[in-house]
Amino acid sequence: MERFRVEVIAKTPNPQQVVYAAMHQDYSEELVVADRLRWPDEAKCGEIIVKRLLAGDRGHFGPLEHPQITLNCGYFPHSVMQQVRTHRVGISFDVQCLAGNTEVTFVKSDGGGLRKIKIAELYDLWTNGEKAIRQRSIKGRQGEPPGEYRRDCKTRIRKMQLRVLNEETGLFEVGHLKDVIAKGIQPVYRLTLEDGKTLDCTANHRLFTSEGWQTMGEAVGLVTHTDNTVAAITKIGDVMCNGIIAELRADRLQPHKYYDKLIEPQQWNYKPKSSRKLRSHPVKVKSVEFLGAQMTYDLEVAGPWHNFVANGMVVHNSNRYTGQRIVDAATGNRDIEEVFYLRPVGDYADRQGKRYEYTPEQRQRDMQWCLEAAKRYQQLIAEGTSEEHARGIIPFDVRQHWVMSVNPRSLMHILDMRWKLDAQLEAQKLCELIWPHFQEWMPDVAAWYEKSRLKKARLAP
C-alpha cells in the first residue's frame, strides 16, 4: 500500500463561500452575486454552513453539490476503482488530450530536417486516408463510385519517424505511431512558455517536466472555477522542450597517432550525415488561459518511449490501454509489484469475522501467478491478438490510475461507505489519502464531518 497516491489536480477556490451563496440563493429573490462584497469570509461561511445546513440535518443539501475537487488516484488495485465508481462521482481514465491545432514533430528520413503536421490533420489522414492523385474512372473493388477518392495511408504514417525523447539519456530519438485517436470535446487550456511556445491541451494531459511526468494542472498548480476558467496558478513549473545540441564528451574520444590511417584515399571526399544529438531542456511556464471546449486528439506511440514532441514540448501519449507496463513486467523491465497489487503478508479477517493468515509462501505463489499471466499476455500480443482480447486473462487487481471529480456531498458519501471499519482495507487507504486534501479544501465542513460522521457507517447527506 506504500505505492498508493492521491494528488489534487484542480479544485474550486473558496468552496465554502460557494456553498453559502447557493444556500442564500434558494431563499432570495435577488441575485446573490450582486451582494458579493458583503459575503462573509471563507471561515465564517464554513461556520454558517455547519450551523444552518449540516448540524440541523435539514435534508436540503443541494448547495453542497456546487464546488468540485479533481483528484488523481494512482497505483490502487482495480477493485478499489470499481467500488468507488459505484458512488456519485465522475471518473475518467483517458482524458489527456491535445487540441486539433497542435503540431506533431516528425524527422525526415533523408536527414533533411523536420516535418510538422497538425494533429487534427493527422487524424483525418489516419481515419479517412489521403487524397489520391488520380480519379477513379470505374467502380472500385468494393463498389466505390468513380471520381475522386482517398486511399488508406496508415502503413506510410506508421513508417514515418516520430521525434521521441529517450527518458534515460535525455536525448531525442525516433519512434513510430501506433494509433491516432479522437478524444471528444474537452475543456482546453493554452499553456504559454517564457520562450513563446504554446500548447493547447486539457488540464490532465501529462507533460515532461524537470520533476518528471506531471499533468498540466499539477505542473502549474492550476486552480479553476466551476466553469473551468482559470482562478490561479499556484506554482511556476517548467516543461521539457527540444532544441539544444548535446555536448560531445571528451572521454568518449579515441585518440590516434599522427601516422594512423583514418580513411582510404578514394573515400576522402565522402561527407557522412550529421550526427548531432539534441537534448531536452526546461523552459518555464509563463501563463495558462482557458480557451473553452474543443475537439481533442491524442496519439499512441509504439516502442519503449511513450512520448512525442507537440509544439516543441515533450508530452505523453495516451497509450489507450496501458498494456505496455504488463509486457514490461513480463520481460523484467518493470517491477512486477508496480504492475500488480497483492496484500502484504499478515493476519486478516473475512466479512464474517473469521481470521486467517496470509503467509509469505502464499504471497510468492500468487505473485508467480501474476508473472505467468503477464507472460501469457505478452505472448498473445506478439501473436497479433487485440489488447481488448488479451487483457481478459490479466488478474483482476492490476494496479489502476484514474482521475476522479467529486463535490463535497459525493465525497462525504464515499467516506461514509469506504472508510468504515469493515470496508475493504485498500478502499480505506484511499479515503485516508483523500482526507487531508478535504481538510485543507473545506476545513469547517471536514471538521464537522470528523466529529459527527467519520467511520460511523452513516450515509452522507
User: Can you tell me the distance from the alpha carbon of 298 to that of 294, in angstroms, rounded to the nearest whole number?
Assistant: 13
Residue 228's pLDDT is 83
- Domains of the chain are 5-92+401-452 (3.30.1360.170), 98-132+149-247+275-319 (2.170.16.10), 325-393 (no CATH)
User: Among 303, 286, 318, which Cα is nearest to 215's?
Assistant: 318
**Phi/psi of residue 359, nearest 5 degrees:** -90, 160
Residue 451's pLDDT is 92
User: Among 156, 157, 173, 153, which Cα is nearest to 165's?
Assistant: 173
Q: Which residues contact 212 (CB under 8 A, 6 or more apart)?
A: none
Q: How many CB atoms lie within 10 A of CB 336?
A: 17
SS3 150: strand
Q: What is the pTM of this model?
A: 0.59
Three-class HEC string of the chain = CCCCEEEEEEECCCHHHHHHHHHHHCCCCCCHHHHHHHCCCHHHHHHHHHHHHHCCCCCCCHHHHCCCEEEEEEEEEHHHHHHHCCCCCEEECCCCCEECCCEEEEECCCCCCEEEEEHHHHHHHHHHCEECCCCECCCCCCCCCCECCEECCHHHHHHCEEEEECCCCCEEEEEEEEEEEEEEEEEEEEEEECCCCEEEECCCCEEEECCEEEEHHHHHCEEECCCCCEEEECCCCEEEEEEEECCCCHHHCCCCCCCCCCCCHHHCCCCCCCCCCEEEEEEEEEEEEEEEEEEEEEEEEECCCCEEEECCEEEECCCCCCCHHHHHHHHCCCCHHHHECCCCCEEEECCCCCEEEECHHHHHHHHHHHHHHHHHHHHHHHCCCCHHHHHHHCCCCEEEEEEEEECHHHHHHHHHHHCCCCCCHHHHHHHHHHHHHHHHHCHHHHHHHHHHCCCCCCCCC
- Contact indicator for 117, 103 with CB cutoff of 8 Å: yes
Joined together, the cell numbers standing for residue 271 give 561527407
Residue 114's pLDDT is 83
- Contact indicator for 238, 282 with CB cutoff of 8 Å: yes
Distance of CA 114 to CAs 13, 97, 162, Å?
43, 23, 10
Residue type, 73: C
Cα–Cα–Cα angle for 406, 233, 434, rounded to 5 degrees = 30
Q: How many CB atoms lie within 10 A of CB 314?
A: 24
Tens digit of pLDDT at every position of the chain (461 positions): 889 999 988 888 999 999 999 988 877 788 888 888 889 999 999 999 999 888 876 667 888 989 988 888 989 998 888 788 776 555 554 456 788 899 999 998 776 678 899 999 999 999 888 887 677 667 766 666 777 767 889 999 999 999 999 988 889 999 999 888 887 778 899 999 999 999 999 888 889 998 888 889 889 999 888 778 898 899 888 999 986 655 545 454 455 444 455 556 555 554 544 556 788 899 999 999 999 988 888 888 887 888 899 999 999 876 445 577 888 889 888 899 999 999 999 999 887 888 999 999 999 999 999 999 999 999 988 887 777 688 788 888 888 888 888 889 989 988 988 998 888 899 999 999 999 999 999 999 999 999 988 988 766 56
Residue 250's pLDDT is 46
Residue 21's pLDDT is 92
